[in-house]
């Protein structure tokens, strides 16, 4: 599985979950949104086999951790990159070395 962290750019206005969902749908995903709690929702697209763990602040999304599970994650990666760019969000790939560095702190 590949993970991508999406965070708003420095001057990006607040973005709602509905805006994320509509942009992903316009790009070709049938999106389902599940609210897990007041501060967390899931965005899922079965066609591209990804889901996003959205951290919320009221109606605004603060960050989305996308989990891509397709054997070929490139189509999902391109789609998420495209939508993030349209919205003014930055994408950061998961770095497995970060966990190793965190473990060294113990």
Q: How confident is the model at residue 28 (pLDDT cuts 50, 70, 90)?
A: confident
**Mean pLDDT in residue range 68-88:** 95
pLDDT score of 70 more than 90: yes
pTM of the model: 0.86
pLDDT reported for residue 104: 53
pLDDT at 101 over 70: no
For residues 27-44, average pLDDT: 93
Instruction: Check whether 103 has a pLDDT greater than 90.
Output: no
Domain limits of the chain? 2-99
How are strands ordered across the β-sheet holding 40-45? 31-37, 40-45, 50-57, 60-68, 2-8, 89-93
pLDDT of residue 81: 96
As assigned by CATH, the class of the 2-99 domain is: alpha beta
Does residue 102 carry a pLDDT above 60?
Answer: no
CA distance 1 to 73: 8
């Amino acid at each position: 599985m590949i993970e991508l962290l999406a965070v708003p750019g420095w001057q990006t206005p607040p973005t709602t979950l509905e805006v994320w969902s509509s942009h992903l749908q316009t790009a070709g995903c049938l999106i389902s949104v599940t609210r897990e709690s007041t501060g967390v929702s899931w965005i899922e697209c079965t066609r591209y086999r990804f889901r996003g763990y959205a951290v919320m602040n009221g109606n605004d999304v603060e960050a989305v951790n996308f989990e891509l599970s397709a054997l070929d994650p490139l189509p999902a990666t391109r789609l998420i990159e495209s939508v993030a760019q349209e919205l003014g969000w930055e994408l950061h790939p998961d770095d497995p070395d970060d966990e190793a560095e965190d473990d060294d702190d113990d």
